[in-house]
Amino acid sequence: MEFYFRLNLSYQDFLPYYQGIAENVEVREKGGKLLWINGRRLRPFLTADGIYGEFHLRLDRDGKFISLKQI
């Protein structure tokens, strides 16, 4: 399964996920489905400004994580 979504999250807003206080970031993919992505999957994309941009998420048939890339 493949999903595309945009994320605009400031550094301050992402901090609870980075610290492990909060676990899943809620995003709406371009087809309208609501997704919950574990915050640790987004850590590589964090900058001093936050996380901004378009992303491509791949899951296997069982809904398990395969990859997440910024596009």
Q: Give the model confidence (pLDDT) of 49-71 as tens digits.
A: 999 999 999 999 999 999 999 99
Count how many domains the chain has: 1
Label each residue of the chain as H, E or C.
Answer: CEEEEEEEEEHHHHHHHHCCCCCEEEEECCCCCEEEEEHHHCHHHCCCCEEEEEEEEEECCCCCEEEEEEC
pTM: 0.86
> What band does 2 get if pLDDT is binned at 50, 70 and 90?
very high
For 31, the domain range is 2-70
pLDDT digits (tens, 9 = 90+) for 5-53: 999 999 999 989 888 888 999 999 999 999 999 998 999 999 999 999 9
The answer to whether the CB of 31 falls within 8 A of the CB of 3 is yes
